[in-house]
Amino acid sequence: MNELELYVHIPFCVRKCAYCDFLSFPSKEDLRQEYVNALIREIRGYGKRYASCHVPTVFIGGGTPSILSSTQIQAVFSAIRETFRVDPEAEITMEANPGTVTEEKLLAWKGAGVNRISIGLQSVRDEELRMLGRIHDHRQFLDTWRLVRQAGMENVNIDLISAIPGQTPESWRETLRKTVELAPEHLSVYSLIIEEGTPFYEWYSNGPRDPQSEDRGRGAKKDASQDARDGAQGPADPAGASGSDDQQYPPLPDEETERLMYEETENILTEYGYARYEISNYAKPGCACRHNIGYWQRKAYLGIGLGSSSLIGTTRFCHTPDMETYLACAGDPGKICEEEQFLSKKDEMEEFMFLGLRMMCGVRKSEFFRLFGIPVDTVYGETLKKLREYGLLEIEKETIRLTKRGIDISNYVFAQFLLS
Amino acid sequence: MAADQSKIRNFCIIAHIDHGKSTLADRIIEMTGLLTSREMQSQVLDNMDLERERGITIKSQAVRIVYRAKDGEEYIFNLIDTPGHVDFTYEVSRSLAACDGAVLVVDAAQGIEAQTLANVYLALDHDLEVLPVINKIDLPSADPERVVEEIEDVIGLEAQEAPRISAKTGLNVEEVLEQIVNNLPAPQGDPSAPLQALIFDSLYDAYKGVIVFCRVREGHIKAGMPIRMMATGAEADVVEVGYFGAGQFIPCDELSAGMVGYITASLKNVKDTRVGDTVTNADRPCSEPLPGYKKVNPMVYCGLYPADGAKYPDLRDALEKLQLNDAALQFEPETSIALGFGFRCGFLGLLHLEVIQERLEREYNLDLVTTAPGVIYKVYKTDGTVIDLTNPSNLPDPSEIEYMEEPYVSAEIMVTSEYVGAIMDLCQERRGIYVSMEYIEQTRAVIKYDLPLNEIIYDFFDALKSRSRGYASFDYEMKGYQRSELVKLDILINKEPVDALSFIVFKDTAYERGRKMCEKLKGEIPRHLFEIPIQAAIGSKVIARETVKAMRKDVLAKCYGGDITRKRKLLEKQKEGKKRMRQVGNVEIPQKAFMSVLKLDED
C-alpha cells in the first residue's frame, strides 16, 4: 500500500517579515475564506485518484496557518479526511505564530486531529525580533507557549534563526538556553539567509560574504528608502524609526561570529538532551518530524494550495503562485500545475544522495541498490573514496554519513554527487 | 549584365570611428532600393553581431547597388565599408585597393580627427579620388562651415561643394549619390586583356568553401575558367562568380575589368588563397602580379587556450579560418603547465585581440582562456645573442640577461585644449616621454609622446576617453626599441608557480602590479578545503601575498518539500563553477582568473 504525505499551504500572514521569501502575504478576511473554499475544491477534486494511498503525515504550513479561524481549519480537515485515508496514528502538524493563537483555536485544531505544533519563535530578544520584522515579542511567545501546552499538545517544535543582524554569540546563547529550558520536543535552527526580493536583500546584499555559502549578504546598506515605501502593511521597521532616512541597519555577524554561534548550537542543544538528526533539526528521542524525514527519504508527497510542491512517483511539480489563477482553477489540478519536472534515474540517484545525506543517520548502500538496481559504489565509488579521504564522509559497511566536518560544508559534499 | 565600365563606380566610405560611415552606407543602400526600409536592419553592412553591438566596423564589407542618376542612366555602385579603428588600418588599406574613389565622411561637430587623416592619406596613397561629405548637420553643435575650412586647411582638399548631410535622417544623401556619379572616376582596364584580379578579402563558407573577394583589373573571369594564384601557385577551376547583394552572394555570368565580385573555385586548402595575391587565367596568364599589400606585423601577443582541452584542434581550425582574411593575425602552438595546449597569438592591438577572441567564441562556439597580453621584448643575453620574447615563460634566467629592451610607439593625441593637462598627466603616468605639442587651431592641440607599447595595450584607450570625456583621439605608430628596466613577475598559488599568470613588467611598477594581482586573484579563487597562499614574486623574492581562507562552513539552510528543486539548481551552479576551473597542483583556478590581470586598473 502506497504512502502519500500531505502538505497544505496557507499563504497568509499578519505582516510580511523582512527576511521572508515564502509565498505569503497579508490578506483580508474574504480572501482567506475564498482561499479556504478553493482548497476544499482542490482536495475534493482529487476524488478517488489517491484512493489506494494512506496518509502517514499532514503538515499545514505557511505563511501563518494559525491566522485562519477555527471553522476554516475544521473545514479543511474535514475535506482532507473525506478524500484521503489519513492514518489513525498520523503525525499532523500545524504551524503557528505567536500573536495569532488562541485557546479556542487550539481546541479546534485538537478536535481536527492536530497533534504537533510548530511555533516560529526565531529569537528571545525583542530587538532581534523587531529587526526580523516579527509581529510578536518574547512575552507574547511565552503566552502562546503556555496555551499550547495547556491544550495538551505534547509534540511541539520551535523555530530559531541564527546570524540575525546585530546578534552576538551572547544573545544567541541566551536564545538557545531560554528556549531549551521550556523543553520543547523539537527544534529547527537555521542561519538567516538573505533572499532576493526581500527587504533584507535590499539592505544587506552588497555582495556575497562567502562564495561558498548560499545567498548570504554582507555589510549593511546605508540606503534605507526601501522600507519607507512599503507602508503600514509592509515589513516591520527594524529600528522603529519609520520615515527617518538616515537610519542604520545593524551589521550581519561576520563569518567567525557566525561559526561560533553554529558551534554553540550543537553544544548547548546536545547538553540539553537533543539529538541532531538532520543538518538543521534537533529532537528529543522519538520526536523527530516524520513528515520532513519523508522529504529527505524521497517519499511521495502531495502539496495542496497556492504554490505548493509535490513529488508523485518520479515527477516533481508545483502549483501556480498566482492567487487569481488558483482561485479560479483550484478544482482542476491540471490547470494549477506548473513547472513539471520528470526525474531521470540519474536525477533520482543524485537526490537520493544529497537529500539522504542531510540526515545524520545517512544513507544505506542496500537501499540504493534496492531502488536503482546498481551498487552505489559503481555509480559513486570515486566520489565516496575522495570525500572519505577528505574526512567529509564516514562509511561503515552499509552506511554512508556525513562527518562533523562534512556537515559544516555539506553543500560542497552534496555538489560532488551530481553526475555531470 | 553587360558591363559598361563608364557606368561603374567602385568606392569606399572612410571616416574616423563614430563619424557615421555605416549609417551613410545604410542610407545609400536603402535609397537605391536594394532593400526596402522595412527589410533594413540598422547598419546592414555590419553583419557580425559583434559589429552591431559595439557600433564599430571590423571587417570590410562589400555590396553592389544600382542607382538611377538624374542624368537618366543606371549606375552600378560597388560600395565597400571599412573599419575606422586604428587597429584595423590594414583592413582599410586592403579595401582601398579595390576602389577607384573614396567618400570621406567628416562629423560636422567634431571635425577632423586622427583617423580621418590617417584614412585620407591611405586613400591618396592608393591614388583614389576623395569626395568629402559633411555629416551630422542635424546636430545642434554642428558647424559645417568650420569643418569645410578645416578640410581645406588640414587636408588640402577642395570642400566648398561637399554635400552637407544627415545620414541619420537621409537629408541630402541624394546629393552624395550624384557626386559619386559625377566626381568619382569610372574604372579602367581592358576586358579582353589577360586576367589580372586582386584578392582583397576572402572567407570560408561551409557550403561553398573558400570565397575569394576580388577586384578585376584587367581581363575577365567566368565559371569554368582555369585560374592560378600567382603567389601561392595554386591552380583551380572557377566554380562560380558573382557580386555582393545585401548580405548574400548573387551569381552572375562573368566579372570583367573594373568589376568587384567574388569567385569560388575548386580550392581545397584555405591557405591557397592569400589576401593581396593576384588571380590570373592559368591558360593565358598576365605578365606580372599586381602590387600586393604591405605586410602588417602583430604588436601584441597573448596565449589563447581552449577551455576544454579536447577543443584544441577546433581552435587551430578556427584560427586558420580567421587568418584567411585577417593577415595580421598570427599564431603558433604553445604549451602551458596550467592551461595545457594552446596558441601564442599575435595581434595588432588590444581591440584586435578582443575582436578575434569574441569571434572565436561566437562564430566558432569556442570557450577560451586568454592570458595577459604582452608585447615583444628584446632580450640581450650575456652570450651576445638576442631573443625576441613573446611569452614571459621563455624569459631566460636573470643571470644570462645582459639587458632588455621594450618597444615604444610615437603617439599622437588630438584633444581640445581643456583636457590637455589631463592627457599629459596620463601620458606621464604611463612612462611617456614628451615630444611636442602644437595647436592646430585655437582650441585643439596635437600632443606627441613616445610611450612604451606595454603601457598602452591594456586600457590606454579607455583612460584616454574617460579623462577627456570622449574628446581625445589617438593614433600611434611603432617607433623602435629602447632599453628598459624590466622584470618578470611570477604568481605562485599554493606555492606553485602558475606559468600562465607570469608577465613582464617595468621594475618600478612591479610591486604595485604584484599587489593588485594578488588581491584580484584572492577574489577569483574560490575557497578550498585548505588555505591557499597567493604570492607575487620576482625571482625567488616574494613581493606580495594574499591568502584564500579555507572553506569552513556553509550557511545552515533548510531543505523541505518546496526547496528541493531550488537546492538542486544551487548545487548544479556550484558544480558548474567547478567545471570552468583549471587544476594547478591541488588548487582549482577559475578560468576567468587568468584574464583578471587584464583588468587590474579597474577598481
Cβ–Cβ contact A327 with B under 8 A: no
Contact A355, A381 (CB under 8 A): no
Contact B218, B194 (CB under 8 A): yes
Q: Parallel, antiparallel, or unpaired for β A315-319 and B300-306?
A: unpaired
CB–CB contact B529 A318 (8 Å)? no
Chain B residues whose C-beta is within 8 A of a chain A C-beta are: 526-527, 529, 551-562, 564-565, 567-568, 570-572, 574-575, 578
Candidates A70, A73, A68, A74; CA nearest to A13 is A68
Residue A52 in this model has a pLDDT that exceeds 50: yes
Average pLDDT over every residue of A103-110:
96
Mutation site, A212, A256, A359, interface B, largest B CB count within 10 A: A212
CB–CB contact B559 A414 (8 Å)? no
3-state class of A385 per DSSP?
A: helix
Least Cα separation, residue B573 to chain A (angstroms)? 9
Q: How confident is the model at residue B425 (pLDDT cuts 50, 70, 90)?
A: very high
pLDDT at A210 (0 to 100) = 41
Burial of A181 (0-12, 13-18, 19+ CB in 10 A): exposed
Contact B410, B477 (CB under 8 A): yes
Cβ–Cβ contact A216 with B under 8 A: yes
Q: How far is the C-alpha of B167 from the C-alpha of B22, rounded, in Å? A: 9
Q: How confident is the model at residue A170 (pLDDT cuts 50, 70, 90)?
A: very high
**Distances in whole angstroms, Cα of residue A323 to Cα of each of A38, A247, A308:** 10, 35, 12
Contact A78, A41 (CB under 8 A): no
* H/E element, A389: helix A376-389
Least Cα separation, residue B383 to chain A (angstroms)? 50
Burial of A404 (0-12, 13-18, 19+ CB in 10 A): exposed
Mutation site, A342, A414, A419, interface B, largest B CB count within 10 A: A414
Least Cα separation, residue B23 to chain A (angstroms)? 41
Of A212, A280, A307, the CB nearest to B556: A280
Least Cα separation, residue A190 to chain B (angstroms)? 5
Least Cα separation, residue B578 to chain A (angstroms)? 10
Lowest-pLDDT range, A198-212, B289-303, B500-514? A198-212
Mutation site, B532, B548, B560, interface A, largest A CB count within 10 A: B560
Least Cα separation, residue A242 to chain B (angstroms)? 31
CB–CB contact B570 A411 (8 Å)? yes
Q: Parallel, antiparallel, or unpaired for β A301-304 and A5-10?
A: parallel
The percentage of chain B sitting over the pLDDT mark of 70, rounded to a whole number, equals 90
Looking at A11-49, which runs of residues are DSSP E strands?
A: none
Least Cα separation, residue A137 to chain B (angstroms)? 24
Q: Count of CB contacts below 8 A, A vs B?
A: 102
Closest chain A residue to B550, measured at CA:
A212
Angle ∠(B335,B337,B343) on CA atoms, nearest 5: 25
CB–CB contact A412 B551 (8 Å)? yes
Contact A306, A337 (CB under 8 A): no
Least Cα separation, residue B545 to chain A (angstroms)? 20
Cβ–Cβ contact A284 with B under 8 A: no
Within 10 Å of residue A102's Cβ, how many Cβ atoms?
13
What is the average pLDDT score of chain A?
88
3-state class of A211 per DSSP?
A: coil
User: Which residue reads 578582443 in cell numbers?
Assistant: B354
CB–CB contact B557 A193 (8 Å)? yes
Q: Report the greatest alpha carbon distance in chain A.
A: 63
Of B527, B562, B565, the CB nearest to A341: B565
CB–CB contact B564 A255 (8 Å)? no
pLDDT at B200 (0 to 100) = 83
Q: Could you check whether the bond before residue B219 is cis, i.e. omega within 30 degrees of 0? A: no
Residues of B in contact with A415 (CB under 8 A): 571-572, 574-575, 578
CB–CB contact A7 B553 (8 Å)? no
Give me the residues of A, 126-155, that contact B with CB < 8 A: none
Average pLDDT over every residue of B132-138:
94
Q: How confident is the model at residue B46 (pLDDT cuts 50, 70, 90)?
A: low
ipTM of the complex: 0.85
Which residues contact residue A163 at a Cβ distance below 8 angstroms, ignoring those fewer than 6 apart? A191, A192, A252, A253, A257, A258, A261, B555
Give me the residues of A, 261-280, that contact B with CB < 8 A: 262, 279-280
Contact A179, A187 (CB under 8 A): yes
Residue A250 in this model has a pLDDT that exceeds 50: yes
CB–CB contact A339 B565 (8 Å)? yes
Q: Which residues pair with B329 in a beta bridge?
A: none
CB–CB contact A279 B568 (8 Å)? no
Long-range contacts, A69-72 (Cβ 8 Å, 24+) = A69/A105, A70/A104, A70/A105, A70/A107, A70/A108, A70/A109, A71/A108, A72/A32, A72/A33, A72/A36
Residue B15 in this model has a pLDDT that exceeds 90: no
Residue B54 in this model has a pLDDT that exceeds 80: no
Least Cα separation, residue B528 to chain A (angstroms)? 9
CB–CB contact B558 A7 (8 Å)? no
Q: pLDDT (tens digit, 9 = 90+) per residue, B522-580?
A: 988 888 888 999 999 998 899 999 999 888 777 778 889 888 988 999 888 888 777 67
Residues of A in contact with B551 (CB under 8 A): 212, 409, 412
CB–CB contact A191 B568 (8 Å)? no
Cβ–Cβ contact A403 with B under 8 A: no
Give me the residues of A, 328-387, that contact B with CB < 8 A: 339, 341, 350-351, 354-355, 358
pLDDT at B362 (0 to 100) = 83
Residue A230 in this model has a pLDDT that exceeds 50: no
Cβ–Cβ contact A107 with B under 8 A: no
Query: Could you tell me if residue B77 is left (phi over 0), alpha (psi between -120 and 50 degrees) or otherwise beta?
Result: beta
3-state class of A5 per DSSP?
A: strand
Residue A298 in this model has a pLDDT that exceeds 90: yes
Residue B384 in this model has a pLDDT that exceeds 60: yes
CB–CB contact A211 B527 (8 Å)? yes
The three cell numbers of residue A364 are: 544505506
- First-last CA distance in chain B: 60
Q: How far is the C-alpha of A52 from the C-alpha of A2, rounded, in Å? A: 7
Residues of B in contact with A163 (CB under 8 A): 555
Average pLDDT over every residue of A7-36:
93
Average pLDDT over every residue of B201-215:
82
Residues of B in contact with A408 (CB under 8 A): 552-554
Q: pLDDT (tens digit, 9 = 90+) per residue, B73-85?
A: 889 888 887 765 5
Average pLDDT over every residue of B86-109:
80
DSSP for residue A284: S
DSSP for residue B189: -
Mutation site, A7, A354, A412, A419, interface B, largest B CB count within 10 A: A412
Q: How far is the C-alpha of B448 from the C-alpha of B434, rounded, in Å? A: 7
CB–CB contact B562 A307 (8 Å)? yes
Q: Parallel, antiparallel, or unpaired for β B486-493 and B496-497?
A: antiparallel
Q: How far is the C-alpha of A6 from the C-alpha of A300, rounded, in Å? A: 9
Q: pLDDT (tens digit, 9 = 90+) per residue, A363-393?
A: 999 999 999 999 999 999 999 999 999 999 9
Residue B86 in this model has a pLDDT that exceeds 60: no
CB–CB contact B552 A339 (8 Å)? no
Query: Could you tell me if residue B126 is left (phi over 0), alpha (psi between -120 and 50 degrees) or otherwise beta?
Result: alpha
Least Cα separation, residue B522 to chain A (angstroms)? 12
Q: How far is the C-alpha of B561 from the C-alpha of A311, rounded, in Å? A: 8
What is the average pLDDT score of chain B?
84
CB–CB contact A414 B561 (8 Å)? no
Average pLDDT over every residue of B82-108:
77
Which residues contact residue B399 at a Cβ distance below 8 angstroms, ignoring those fewer than 6 apart? B382
CB–CB contact A309 B526 (8 Å)? no
Cβ–Cβ contact A51 with B under 8 A: no
Q: pLDDT (tens digit, 9 = 90+) per residue, A179-229?
A: 999 999 999 999 898 888 888 888 887 644 443 333 333 333 333 333 333
Q: How confident is the model at residue A277 (pLDDT cuts 50, 70, 90)?
A: very high
Lowest-pLDDT range, A115-129, B186-200, B247-261, B285-299? B285-299
Which residues contact residue B235 at a Cβ distance below 8 angstroms, ignoring those fewer than 6 apart? B226, B227, B228, B229, B282
User: Which residue reads 482529487 in cell numbers?
Assistant: A46
CB–CB contact A301 B527 (8 Å)? no
Residue B505 in this model has a pLDDT that exceeds 50: yes
CB–CB contact A409 B551 (8 Å)? yes
